[in-house]
Amino acid sequence: MSAAMPSRDEFRRTALPNGLRVVTMRRPEAPLAGIKLFFNVGSRHDGDHPGIAHFLEHVLLSTAGSNAAQTVYDTVEGLGGELNAATTREYTVLQAVVLAPHAEAMVNLFADLLEPGPIDPVAVDRERRIIHEEILLQNDSSQIIWDLFLHALWDGHPLAQPILGTWEIIAALSTDALADHRRYYQAADRMVLAAAGGVDHEALVRIAASRFGDVPPGPSLAMPAFHLVPPRTALEERETQLTHLVLGVEGVAMPDPRRYALRLLDIVLGRGASSRLHRALRSERGLVYAVSSLAMSYADRGYFAVSTSCAPEQARTVSGVIVEELDRIRQDGVSDAELARAKMIYEGSLARNFETVLSVASIVGIEELLYRIEPFPESVARIRGVRPEEVRRVAAEMFLPERVAVAAVGRQLSDVTSSA
């Protein structure tokens, strides 16, 4: 992800002495403000308790507001806003969109949620039940396949742990364990306050300094060495109407310069109705309703994957077509016309990503947290400068048949393994 910065926007960045960073994108005419508080703590840091970061996110938002009869949701909605939170494999974020005059109140509210103190056991039990329902819902949906795919690709790596954890682990987690894990969030150098819209940078910096200025930096969250094992095939037989498929390979980390060529390969292969895979699987053969690819980069590694769903009896053909398209682009690369089109699509997607203040806050916040913020002209220049031979070289390096990991959920899965 790279930050587009239209000329009407004013970007500013301030790092507090303790390492906390405040990044803002001011839009003077915007009636709304998007506020996000990021923590560089995700499911990859769960250790022996997969799912604990996500559990703690739930507990944080179950805290009462300034009026004990109100929840934080009541408070935010009373300011004309919406509140949410998310846990990913690499970070946790508290987020809200409110009317612009209330932006500073939101930062204070987030700070209130993080105040040290006992964790309410009633809230823990309530959120435990809610997470149980969330786990059941995911297990009944196609989303389970992504955990299966990362298990096939990165067996043993912390990034392959399920974000929600398992019910056995969630059921056994104690209030003390949650309180102990919360210390990872009380590290200033792992925090980024990002805001966009009708916001005042200096005012937000003052509040951040007042509420978080005494938070110390924390110990480094080390990324253990990981030796990539040969990719595997991970299958889960279920009585589903459709077979869900993901095929993918090891990709690149955020700092890797090959990320830009891989991003263009992503567009050519599986982004939109003009992509190769959409034409091959839907337009020409009518085998699937939808197919897409994803180039995902984390701080230290990444993956490239293709996902789709199809009738069980077509799974072998569909997975075979995906492998053929990966091999074709590996051997032949992309045409000048395809590359030019992909660059235009990429540039347009950057502009669309800046349509809402919350998405702007997401982009600058994530980039600041995990790597660095890249200005719009620099990002576009990098993409425009990618040459066809770079794209072909990256495809030749990554899309080797022996590097492909396969995950499938559904019926008649023996057909999948015989073609991929």
CA distance 225 to 65: 42
What are the tens digits of pLDDT across the range 137-173? 988 877 899 999 999 999 989 999 999 999 999 999 9
Q: What is the pLDDT of residue 1?
A: 39
CA distance 3 to 367: 8
What are the tens digits of pLDDT across the range 64-84? 544 444 688 988 998 889 999
Which residues, including other chains, have CB under 8 Å from residue 13's CB and lie 6 or more apart? 21, 22, 23, 24, 368, 373
pLDDT at 7 over 80: no
Q: State how far the alpha carbon of 19 is from the alpha carbons of 22, 214, 407, in Å.
A: 10, 11, 40
Is the CB of residue 111 less than 8 Å from the CB of residue 212?
A: yes
Q: State how far the alpha carbon of 419 is from the alpha carbons of 56, 134, 197, 396, in Å.
A: 42, 34, 50, 20
With cut-offs at 50, 70 and 90, classify the pLDDT of residue 4: very low
Does this model's pTM top 0.85? My answer is yes
Task: Give me the sign of the Cα torsion angle 5, 111, 83, 66.
Answer: negative
Nearest alpha-carbon partner for 17 in 220, 203, 214: 214
Q: How far apart are the first and last CA of the chain?
A: 30
What are the tens digits of pLDDT across the range 305-349? 999 999 999 999 999 999 999 999 999 999 999 999 999 999 998
What are the tens digits of pLDDT across the range 287-315? 999 999 999 999 899 999 999 999 999 99
Across the chain, what does the average pLDDT equal? 91
pLDDT at 376 over 80: no
CA distance 276 to 109: 47
Fold of the domain built from segment(s) 233-417: Cytochrome Bc1 Complex; Chain A, domain 1 (3.30.830)
Which residues, including other chains, have CB under 8 Å from residue 91's CB and lie 6 or more apart? 38, 39, 40, 41, 42, 366, 369, 370
Q: Domain coordinates of the chain in residue numbers?
A: 10-212, 233-417
10-212 against 233-417: fold identical: yes
Phi, psi of 124 (to 5 degrees): -60, -45
Q: In the predicted model, what is the mean pLDDT of residues 367-391?
A: 89
| 303, two tokens | 């993956």
Q: How many CA atoms lie less than 13 Å away from 20 in the CB half-sphere?
A: 26
Q: In what order do the strands lie in the sheet with 10-15?
A: 10-15, 21-26, 191-197, 32-39, 92-99, 82-87
pLDDT at 420 over 70: no
CA distance 329 to 402: 16
pLDDT at 373 over 60: yes
Q: In the predicted model, what is the mean pLDDT of residues 21-35?
A: 95
What is the architecture of the domain spanning 10-212? 2-Layer Sandwich (3.30)
Q: What is the pLDDT of residue 369?
A: 94
